[in-house]
Chain A
Amino acid sequence: MIGLKIIKRKPLPGWVKIIIPVVAVVITLIFSAVPILIAGGNLWKSYYYLFYGALGTRYNLLETFVKASPLIFTGLAVAFAFRAKFWNIGAEGQLLAGALLATWVGINFTGVPQFLLLPIVIISGFIGGGIWASIPAILKTKLKVDDVVSSLLLNYVMIHIMGTLLFGPLQQAGSSWPRSPGILEAARYPMLLARSRFHLGIPLAFLAVLIIWFINDKTVFGYQSKAVGVNIKAANFGGINTTSVILKTALISGGLAGLAGVGELCAIHYHLLMDISPGYGYSGIVIAMLGNLHPLGVVFASFFFSIVLVGAHTMSRMTGVPTYIAEVIQGMALIIMLISLLLTEYKIRVVRK
C-alpha cells in the first residue's frame, strides 16, 4: 500500500513566501494548456491572445485595471475576514447589498453636488455591504451558527431581494427589463483617463489596499483581529473581546465588498442590474487565498485574474476557446496555490506502508 507522508520542514527563508504565488501562477498557466488543447485551441496563439487581449493595447490595458478594481475590493474583503478566521463566503451578496443601498442613494439624493454626493454614495455602499456581512457575524458569535453556511445562504437571499425590488418598486418606469432607474449624473464616478473606462474606483481600490495594510500591521485592532484568527480561545483568555473584534472585522470585510458593487454601479452600469456582478464575490475567495491573505498579494492576484478575464475574451474570439476558460483557470489557480503553500511548510514523501 502506498501512501503520502507529510513531514514538517524547517522554516524557509522569507523570499520564498513572496515567490510562491508567482510560481503558482506560472504552474496554473502551464496546466491551462490542458483545457485549451481539449477545446482545440492552438497553444501559442491562445496564450498570445490571452496576454495581448489584456495588455496589448492602451485600451485593453486600462480595461484590465477596470476589471481589477472590483476584484481587489472583494479579494481584500475575503482576505481581511479569513485572517480572523471569519469564514465570509458571502462577498457576492455583500457586493450586491452595497450596490443596492448605493443605488437608492444615487437615485434619490437629487440636488446634492457631486463632491458631496460621491462620498455619500461610497459610504452608503460600504454600510450596505457591512450590514449584510454583520448578519453571519452576529449569528456566529451570538448563536453559534456556522459562518460558512449562513454567509453563503445570504448570497441567495440578497439576489432574491434584488430580484423582488428590480421586478417591483425599483424597476425603471417603462422598462420590461429588471433594472433600476439610472443613478444621478452627480453620483457617477468620474473617468480619470480619456478614451477609457479608467475610473475613480481604481485609485480607491489601491487606497483600500494601503488602509487595510495599515490596519493589519500598525493598529491594535489589526493585531486583535489576527489574534482571533490564530487562536480564538487564547485571544479571549488574553482579554480581547472576540465578539466585538469579529463583528468589526465583518463590517469592514462586507464594506469592502460593498465598494466593489458601488464601483460597478457608478462607473460601469449606472443602473442596478441583476447581473451587476459576474461572480466577483466568489473570485474574491480565490484571490484572497492566492494573495496569501496579504493586501499586496491581493493586488497581485487581482491583476492575474483580471488579465485572465479580460484576455479570455480576445482569446475566445481568435481561437474559439470558450470564455469560461477564465473560471477554470481561477479554480485551478486556487488548488495549485493551496498545494504550493503546503509545500512551503511540509515535505511530502511517498511511502510504502
Chain B
Amino acid sequence: MINEIFNTTFITGLIGATMRMSTPIIFATLGEIITERSGVLNLGIEGTMLMGAMTGFLVTFTTGSLWAGVLAAALVGIILSLLMAFLSVHLGLSQHVSGLGITLFSTGLAMFIYRLYFGSPIVPPTVEPFRQVAIPFLSKIPVIGPSLFNQYVLTYLAWLLIPVISILLYKTKIGLKIRTVGENPFAADTVGVNVNLTRTLSLAAGGALIGIGGAFLTLAHQNMFLIDVVGGRGWVSIAMVIFGNWDPLKGAVGAVIFGFLDGLQLRLQGLGIQIPFHVFLMIPYIITIVALVGVSRRAAVPAGLLKPYRREEKGG
C-alpha cells in the first residue's frame, strides 16, 4: 500500500486533485477577503455559492455555453451581494443575521428553481463540463507538469487572482479605499471616501468571485447539480479568511491546504483503502477548526468589521 501511495501516478493525481479541489475555495476566499476588508462579513457566501452552482449549471444546460454559465453565476453572485449590501450596509442590519438570511433564502431559491426547471428526474441531467487545458512545454515536466499545468482555465484564473487581488488591495488606490473603509470608516468619510458605496462595490466584486467559485463545482469539478454540491465550502472559505488573517496570499495557502486534504480524501478512496469515507470527509473540517484555534489569538480583524456606518453615530 505504501508503494501505491508513493508512486508518481498517485502523487501526480494528488497534486492535480489538490489544484482542482482548492479552486472553488480560492475563489470564495478571495471574494470574502475583499468583502471583509471593506468591513462586511458576508455569511451569504454558502447560499451564494449554491446559487452560483445552480445558475451556472442551468444557463450552461440551456445555452450550451460553459462561459455563459460562469458569467451568469458571477451575475447572480453580484445580485445576491447587492441584496446583502442593501440590508447590512444601507439599512445597517446585523451582518451576521442578514448574511444567514441570504444563505437560507438563496439555498431555498436554488433548489426551488432547479426543481421548477428540471422536475425530479431519476437520473440528474448533466452538461459537457470544462476540459483541462495543457500548457505547452510546462505540462511535460515530469510529475508536477501534468498535475499543475494541465488544469481547468478557471483553476489557472483562480491562481492568477491571488497576486492580482493582493496587488489590488495593497498597491492601488482602490485597495487603499477598501482597507480604510474597513479599518476606520469615520476617517475614510472625513477624507471624502463614500463608505457605503465602497462597501457595496466590494460586496459586489466579492460576490462575483463567490458565484464563480460555485459554478466551478457544477461545470468543472462535476457536471451536474446536486443539492449538497457546495457542502459547506462557503463556510470553509469564511474560516480560510480568518486562517489567512485577511490576507489574500495566506488565505489562498489555507484554501490549498483544504484542497489538498479534500483531494487526498478523494485519491485514498480511489485506492479502495478500508477507512469509511465519512472519516475522510470529516478531516478537512476538523483541521480547519484546529487551524482556527492556532491563529485566532493573533487575528488582525479589520476594525470596522461587523459595524454598520452611520455618520451621525460617530464613535457609537
Contact = CB atoms under 8 A, between A and B. Distances in A.
Interface of A: 3-4, 6, 35, 38-39, 87, 89, 139, 143-146, 148-150, 152-157, 160-164, 167-168, 282, 285-286, 289, 322-332, 334-335, 338-339, 342, 348
6 closest pairs, A vs B, by CB?
A: A331-B105, A327-B108, A163-B278, A160-B282, A322-B115, A324-B112
B292 A145 contact: yes
A139 B97 CA distance: 21
Contact of B279 (A139, A160, A325, A335): A160
Interface of B (DSSP majority class): helix
Contact of B93 (A148, A155, A325, A338): A338
Nearest to B233: A156
A324 B87 CA distance: 24
A179 to B, nearest CB: 14
A323 B108 CA distance: 10
A258 to B, nearest CB: 20
Contacts of B104: 282, 285-286, 327, 330-331, 334
14 contacts: A35-B112, A139-B289, A139-B293, A146-B296, A149-B239, A153-B235, A153-B239, A153-B288, A160-B278, A163-B281, A282-B104, A327-B107, A328-B105, A338-B94
Chain B contact patch, size range: 35 or more
Contacts of A145: 289, 292-293, 296
A126 to B, nearest CB: 24
B242 interface: yes
Nearest to A142: B293
B241 to A, nearest CB: 9
A339 B90 CA distance: 11
B102 to A, nearest CB: 8
A87 B231 CA distance: 21
Contact of B112 (A153, A154, A327): A327
A286 B96 contact: no
B297 A152 contact: no
Contacts of B231: 156
Contacts of B115: 322-324
A335 B231 CA distance: 23
Given A139-B293, A167-B278, 17 more contacts: A39-B116, A87-B96, A139-B292, A146-B242, A146-B296, A148-B43, A153-B235, A156-B231, A160-B278, A164-B278, A322-B115, A322-B116, A327-B111, A330-B104, A331-B108, A331-B109, A334-B101
Contacts of A148: 43, 96, 238
Given A6-B91, A328-B108, A334-B104, A157 B286 contact: yes
Given A164-B278, A167-B278, A339-B91, A153 B108 contact: no
Contact of A146 (B92, B93, B101, B292): B292
Contacts of A328: 105, 108-109, 112
B85 to A, nearest CB: 11
Contact of B242 (A149, A285, A330, A338): A149
A163 B277 CA distance: 9
Given A4-B91, A149-B235, A338-B87, A161 B97 contact: no
Interface in B133-192: none
A4 B101 contact: no
Interface string B65-108: 00000000000000000010001001111101110111011111
B125 interface: no
B276 interface: yes
A104 B97 CA distance: 35
Contact of A160 (B196, B236, B285, B288): B285
A164 B111 contact: no
Contacts of B267: none
A338 B87 CA distance: 8
B64 interface: no
Contacts of A38: 116
Contact of A4 (B90, B107, B286): B90
A150 B105 contact: no
Interface string B284-313: 011011001100110100000000001000
Given A89-B100, A157-B282, A164-B276, A150 B292 contact: yes
B98 A338 contact: yes
A280 B231 CA distance: 17
Contact of B108 (A143, A152, A330): A330
A6 B276 CA distance: 54
Which residue, B87, B91, B196, has most C-beta atoms of chain A within 10 A?
B91
Interface in B202-248: 231-232, 235-236, 238-239, 242
B88 to A, nearest CB: 9
